[in-house]
Amino acid sequence: QTVNYIFDQMNELYKGDVATCEASIKIKQLEDILQSQVPNCDYQFLQYIAQTYTQDECFVLNINKHRKDGLNVYIANAIEEYVNA
């Protein structure tokens, strides 16, 4: 699986509640992918990623490209929900 695959999956869940089991599973899969690339990926790193997904214009454009507008915010919120659950 790739990060873009997870984004596509999250696109299918978009507009749903970020506190769902399905969203949590996708964020766990995202975490696993990130941990394979960044061994010290922890909850603090995930929160940084969530912030990046909403504040870095390159990430915003990449995540939302050919997907629902605002998906980046949905994913960031799902990450926050996952970290704080």
In the numeric block, which tokens belong to residue 77? 């919120």
What is the pTM assigned to this prediction? Answer: 0.94
> What is the full per-residue pLDDT of the chain (85 aa) written as tens digits?
899 999 999 999 998 788 889 999 999 999 999 999 998 999 999 999 999 999 999 999 999 999 999 999 999 999 999 999 8
How high is the pLDDT of residue 18? Answer: 86
How high is the pLDDT of residue 61? Answer: 97
How high is the pLDDT of residue 16? Answer: 79
How high is the pLDDT of residue 17? Answer: 87
Give the integer Cα–Cα distance in Å for 83 and 60.
21
- Chain-centroid distance of CA 3 in Å reads 9
Identify the DSSP state of 20: S
